[in-house]
Amino acid sequence: MTCPAVKDDILIINVTILPRADRREGMEKNSFVRIQGNLISETGPMSALPPGIHCEKIIDGRNRLLMPGLVNVHTHAAMTLFRGLADDLPLMTWLHEHIFPAEAQHVSPEMVYWCSRLAAQEMIRAGITCAADGYFHEDEAARAFCETGLRGVMAQGIVDFPAPGVADPGENVRHAGRFIDGWQTVNELITPALFCHSPYVCSAKTLVAAKEVAREKKALFFIHVAETRDEVQQSLLEHGVSPVRYLADLGILDCDTVCVHCVWLDDHDREILAASGASVALCTASNMKLASGVAQVRKMLDLRIPVGLGTDGCASNNTLDLFQEMNLTAKLHKVHALDPTVLPARTLLDIATRGGARVLGMEESLGTVQPGKKADLILLDLDQPHLTPLYSEDLLVYGARGADVETVIINGQVVMEGRRFQLIDQQEAIHRVREMAARLRGAI
């Protein structure tokens, strides 16, 4: 699978640029950004634009805000098929009585391809330029991401029971290793990884073996950790320690491990994560919908634990919109702490961009608008009543939404312009998934 050819040169003019969250200067109005190949080559005020530049494409950014693309550090793209299938249920009931049975019957290579392609379109339309996905038949998800132009960290799912594409659980780790080998040098949009679902569906033997493969192949290792209070109680009963301590004792935690959710951690758990270098993927909307609890994000940040923001899958969210995630995360933590100063908007913007890139090991190439970084950029239409007036970037967290994204550039390629996809037929996946949903509904 080869990615679409990267256009040689793009110039964005008259645009307002979002400043980095760690800097105090305001938004850079009336600016330009030049893209050469897949990299940002130059930025600055329009007054400093060199005369006589010849570009293949010029984008007028008047009344537009340019910012780094959002980084979704955790999702299950193919689960768009299960959006709204089993709402308003506790996690374990939702998983074992609805999702796992539906997956056993309806997950196929075709389903993963089309449902992942639908998810990729939804994410691009919401300004997500890079997403970490974990599921089965991950070859098909990677193909779907590449064809839509979305950058992906694609993690092959591992569980200790027969799974789609891996009928023999004894082959789960070897199958995932082969997936990594198959995608490590195929194209620069796709980074392969491993995803062990959780300590409660993967044995110690499986967890250790999977982490060994990830280390050998220099790949990220994702795992759901301490999502619910019941999960922690189960770990205490079976292992005598918390899920985080259990993973630490197995040697799973390091700077290439991404722990998803981390809602039910105590201070010792957070200290273990901080010392290990492991990262955390927050999934606020999913945790709220499943009533899992509230992750203590401020305490994690204070310990310098790398934190990124994820949507989780559509079955437990039900959307793939990181603007919504930023909004919910900021407000939930304020009301939970009874403190309006907790998790300010600029912290959330940083978590959703540079923070997410750091979690995925891509901070050197993604997450900010700087020369030398990959041209993964989005343009928001500021000619909107709900974005007027725009005093500061805080409004992006409290007032913006994915539908405000007008243009998306990934790896130097314009993949959406004027909310129209440039590489694919945007209706095809919608039609295919509707057909699959009709068959699923009939089976139920």
Q: Which has the closest alpha carbon to 123: 78, 82, 179?
A: 78
Q: Concatenated DSSP letters for 72-103?
A: EEEE-GGGGGGTTSS-S--HHHHIIIIIHHHH
Q: What is the mean pLDDT of residues 404-423?
A: 97
Q: What is the mean pLDDT of residues 244-268?
A: 98
For 254-407, where are the alpha helices, taking DSSP H only? 267-276, 284-289, 297-302, 322-337, 345-350, 356-359, 394-398
Predicted pLDDT at 1: 55
**Interval 201-230: pLDDT, tens:** 999 999 999 999 999 999 999 999 999 999
**Interval 297-350: pLDDT, tens:** 999 999 999 999 999 999 889 999 999 999 999 999 999 999 999 999 999 999
Predicted pLDDT at 24: 63
Predicted pLDDT at 23: 64
Give CA–CA dist 379/427, Å, rounded. 23
Q: What is the mean pLDDT of residues 367-386?
A: 97
Do residues 57 and 35 touch, judged by C-beta distance below 8 A?
no
Using a cut of 0.85, tell me whether the model's pTM lies above it: yes
Q: Which has the closest alpha carbon to 77: 127, 120, 129?
A: 120
Residue 2, pLDDT above cutoff 70: no
How many residues appear in the chain?
Answer: 444
Predicted pLDDT at 374: 98
Predicted pLDDT at 91: 76
Is the preceding omega at residue 318 within 30 degrees of 0, hence cis?
A: yes
Q: What is the mean pLDDT of residues 54-70?
A: 95
Give CA–CA dist 129/109, Å, rounded. 24
412: left (phi over 0), alpha (psi -120 to 50) or beta: left
pLDDT over 70 percentage in the chain: 97
Q: What are phi and psi of 5, to 5 degrees?
A: -65, 140
Q: What is the mean pLDDT of residues 265-277?
A: 98
Average pLDDT, the chain: 94
Predicted pLDDT at 46: 96
Give CA–CA dist 58/55, Å, rounded. 7
Confidence of residue 51 (pLDDT cuts 50, 70, 90): confident
Confidence of residue 115 (pLDDT cuts 50, 70, 90): very high
Question: What is the SS3 assignment for 335?
Answer: helix
Q: Which has the closest alpha carbon to 252: 226, 268, 272, 270?
A: 272
Q: Which has the closest alpha carbon to 115: 441, 429, 416, 425?
A: 429
Residue 126, pLDDT above cutoff 70: yes
**Interval 7-43: pLDDT, tens:** 558 999 999 999 876 666 678 899 999 999 999 999 9
Give CA–CA dist 245/179, Å, rounded. 29
Predicted pLDDT at 3: 54
Residue 174, pLDDT above cutoff 70: yes
Query: In sequence order, what are the beta bridge partners of 1?
Result: none
